[in-house]
Amino acid sequence: MNNDHVTDLHKEERLKQLQDYRQAVYNSRNALFISAGILLLSEVVRFGLFNQMADTYNFVMFALMFASFIGLALWTKKKPYTPLRIGIIIYLVYIIVNALPFIYNEGLDGIFKGIYNGIFYKAITMLLIARAAPKAKAMQTLNEAIDE
């Protein structure tokens, strides 16, 4: 009977870990899907409300970022933390690459304009990803330790 009690405790602990893992996957996935949605919204606002024409460069950058975030979100089922790390790196590169035309056209003053352009959307995206990361890291590490 004592052995059954230990087995039941082990099953309960494993069930709790699985629930935590599912929650981490859910949070990671949502953070990346919402980030893709925010990116889409920011581009619609930029091109729609401000009547800016979408040139090929901006369209390609947007399409790559949007597809990357969707792909990373789908990857979270296998590993919830790794796609978040990659998402942060890709997003930072996107911010820098989007600042390049401002730098080219306006020199050093363009750096700040390029980085701060759309800061609201950028801050929300980074916050969403950063909030999901700690739990996702813990659960991915735990899951990898259990699988070994």
pLDDT tens by residue, 93-136: 888 887 887 778 887 777 777 777 778 888 888 888 888 888 88
The whole-model pTM stands at 0.74
CB atoms within 10 A of CB 2: 6
End-to-end Cα distance, the chain: 30
Distance, CA of 9 to CA of 112 (rounded, Å):
56
Residue 1 parent element (H or E): none
Q: Nearest Cα to 29, choosing from 84, 68, 99?
A: 84
Q: What is the pLDDT of residue 112?
A: 77
87, 32 contact by CB (below 8 A): yes
